[in-house]
Amino acid sequence: MRFFAAARDKVILNGYGCRKLRLLLHGSAMVFLVLLAGVINAAEHVQDFNWRALVKADTSAPYYRVTLPVEAYLNTAQPGFADLRVFNAAGEPVPFARTAPSGSSERSMQRTTLRWFPLREAVASNAAAGKLDVTVRQSGDGTLVEVHSAAGKPENKSQAVRGYLLDASKLVRHESAQALELDWQGGNDGFQLLDIEASDNLQDWRSVQRNVQLARLDFNGERIERRRIELAGLPGRYLKLQWRDPAIAPELVRAEIEQGSAHWKAPPLAWSAQIAPLRSALNLQPGEFHYRLEQALPISRIRIVLPQGNVLLPLQILQPIRERRDWHGIAHGVVYRINSNNREWIQDEIALSGPWLKEFIVRFDPRSSRNISQPTMQIGIAPEQVVFLAEGAAPYELAVGNGKMASGALPLATLVPGLGAPNAPHIAEAVLASGAASVMPASSPASALQPQADWKKIALWGVLIAGVLAMAAMAWQLVRQMDRKE
């Protein structure tokens, strides 16, 4: 800095020298930027990545989402996928974001037909006074067998129907009841009003809904119906329906309860190929087996390949600590295969909390029903997903395995404007083409972590340094000439 300040002071009275030095500095700066851009761009070639896979999409969309396979984890050259890139057909990198795997909520609907018993006019008169004067016969589990009024016999059909008693005692998960759907015949077309009450013992009744409106309208061959009654759970084992106007109470032919349930479905795991134990130099005990991976992986499950026949194996998973001087238990469980009555009962997986493991020991309980020789296994991970912009022409290619790359991922909210809004750009699902993964010859994930000669970069940096030295020499010569003139 002192040198350039002195040069500036020397040439301040010399207009020609000042212009010449300014042009020299500007030109050298342009050369520096051009060479620096060349160095940066030289690192963004798809050929510089050890592992690549083509992206296959069946639709056209502005964004695509792909799930990273286990092979991508095994071939990445940097922890955290800093070397992950997506290229288009022209070999140009496109904007992308990484995101955690997402599960889904699945809903299921179930319909159950209820038994019903008519409540005739003699019963309704007492019910209106707050008392259901009926004779009830139930089975041992509470299911209604017979319901009739105390004033009449069940076979007496001359009495007008005032309502119905519905038996929901066999339903489970009453809180999941979402609707009651009725169907009837007879009665007058038009609107109907009824009240709904619930009870667990057929003696104490509580109101569920009042002034419920049903309808059936026919006109010119068209029918409009309202037969569905929305529920927020079922507050009792029995329901009582009472029509406000007994004169229009219809003859019930069907009563169904609709139940809905929702459960969370975890994202599917990505499984590796089978892994055999090592011929380890560790001092292993009988029933202990040592496994080592090419890269540390966030393991969610371990699947043991069980032999045929009946077998039951308690086991423990251990992780090395303190430079492999000690082993710490991180999971335990039982795997088994049992055949009974032409049915196979199998549990071959042990759940882990997702630790990053590169090596571990599986210790089988010596009290196991069978000694296993060289057991193979698979590891399952909850893989990350990649969302990328469809910039440029397809096909697109996913690449990892370059130990010199800095992270190029954007935040997902930055990549996709309006993410989560109803009118947000569509993100289409895509997959990696089967068999499209390739590893460059004479390279491996381990070697990718080691410094490798890049002659193109070395040449560019050499030219850059030479240019800077030449600029300094020219500036020095100019200052010396000006000193001699003075």
pLDDT digits (tens, 9 = 90+) for 358-387: 899 999 998 886 667 889 999 999 889 999
Q: What's the confidence (pLDDT) of residue 161?
A: 83
How far apart, in Å, do the first and last CA atoms of the chain sit? 23
The Cα 167–Cα 456 span in angstroms is 83
Q: What's the confidence (pLDDT) of residue 39?
A: 47
Element containing residue 483 per DSSP (H, E): helix 455-485
Amino acid at 205: W
Report residue 401 as tokens: 């395995």
Listed ranges 156-160, 182-186, 323-327, 461-465; the one with the highest mean pLDDT: 182-186
CB distance 445 to 83 below 8 Å = no
pLDDT band at 241; cut points 50, 70, 90? very high
The Cα 203–Cα 461 span in angstroms is 93
The Cα 91–Cα 322 span in angstroms is 45
Q: What is the pLDDT of residues 435-455, one digit of tens each?
A: 545 554 434 433 333 444 455
Residue with the bigger pLDDT between 183 and 467: it is 183
Residue with the bigger pLDDT between 460 and 114: it is 114
Average pLDDT, the chain: 79
Q: What's the confidence (pLDDT) of residue 448?
A: 37
Between the CA of residue 71 and those of 248, 291, 304, what are the distances in Å?
Answer: 70, 18, 20
- Identify the weakest region by mean pLDDT among 112-116, 340-344, 395-399: 340-344
For the cut 60, the answer to whether the pLDDT of residue 100 exceeds it is yes
Residue with the bigger pLDDT between 157 and 354: it is 354
At residue 447, φ and ψ (nearest 5 deg) are -70, -25
Amino acid at 51: W
Residue 485 backbone zone (phi > 0: left; psi -120 to 50: alpha; other: beta): alpha
Q: What's the confidence (pLDDT) of residue 179?
A: 94
Q: What's the confidence (pLDDT) of residue 443?
A: 40
Q: What is the pLDDT of residues 43-84, one digit of tens each?
A: 568 888 989 999 998 888 999 999 998 888 888 888 788 999
Site of tokens 């500095």: 25
The Cα 476–Cα 470 span in angstroms is 10
Amino acid at 38: G
Handedness of CA 118, 122, 123, 128 (dihedral sign): positive
Q: What is the pLDDT of residues 131-145, one digit of tens each?
A: 445 555 555 555 555
The per-type count for the chain, helices as H runs and strands as E runs, is 7, 29
Handedness of CA 11, 13, 17, 19 (dihedral sign): positive
Amino acid at 125: S
DSSP track, 86-111: EE-TTS-B--EEEE----EEEEEEEE
Q: What's the confidence (pLDDT) of residue 266?
A: 77
CB distance 142 to 182 below 8 Å = no
Q: What is the pLDDT of residues 184-234, one digit of tens each?
A: 987 667 889 999 999 998 889 999 999 999 999 888 888 889 999 999 998
For the cut 90, the answer to whether the pLDDT of residue 297 exceeds it is no
The Cα 200–Cα 217 span in angstroms is 35
Q: Which residues pair with 349 in a beta bridge?
A: 303
Q: What's the confidence (pLDDT) of residue 1?
A: 44
Q: How many CB atoms lie under 10 A from the CB of residue 297?
A: 21
> What mean pLDDT is predicted for residues 104-124?
79
Residue with the bigger pLDDT between 402 and 247: it is 402
For the cut 60, the answer to whether the pLDDT of residue 129 exceeds it is no
Percentage of the chain modeled with pLDDT above 70: 71
The Cα 50–Cα 269 span in angstroms is 24
Angle formed by the axes of helices 2-10 and 455-485, to 10°?
40
